[in-house]
Amino acid sequence: MATLVMVADASRARFFRAETAKSGLTEIDTMVHPESKLHPNEMASDKPGKTSNRNGQGVNSLDNEVDPKRQEAIRFAKEVSERLDMVRQKGEYARLCVVAAPTFLGMLRSNLHAETRKLITNEINKDLTALNVNDIRAHLPERL
């Protein structure tokens, strides 16, 4: 059965199919998350709010716990993980090769379903999303 190769960063995920362990790749789908490319100032609608102390002394600013750019990357990692799980449930692949920018790879790992993780045969922490299909294949092991 085929291997699914997923190449991603915080703003784009590309999906490829390899029919055999040594075959070339065919691009089958792409997910784009343009919000991840926005400048942090464009993501937040306004400045953090302010609150005063209970005893009336001083005013404190309320900061976001997670910066907006990271929050968008986390959101996209969840979407990509859900897509991988959905195609796994349909039985569209027997093996999975995950290639992602290092920080995004960690986000993916924490969101992948346990059954999907079991299908991972290769995991590469590189951002290859901008490369053409032949260059991506050249970065992968000879046998997927």
Q: How far is CA 144 from CA 13, 109, 116, 122, in A?
A: 19, 19, 16, 7
For residue 80, what pLDDT is reported?
Answer: 98
For residue 68, what pLDDT is reported?
Answer: 85
Q: What is the pLDDT along the chain (144 residues), one digit of tens a residue?
A: 899 999 999 999 999 999 999 999 999 999 999 865 555 555 454 455 454 555 555 555 555 566 888 999 999 999 999 999 999 999 999 999 999 999 999 999 999 999 999 999 999 999 999 999 999 999 999 999
Question: Which CATH architecture describes the domain 3-139?
Answer: 2-Layer Sandwich (3.30)
Look at residues 7, 9, 6 and name the one whose alpha carbon lies nearest to residue 101. 9
| Cβ atoms of 48 and 140 closer than 8 Å | no
Report helix angle 102-111 to 68-89, nearest 10.
50
Domain ranges of the chain: 3-139
How many residues appear in the chain?
A: 144
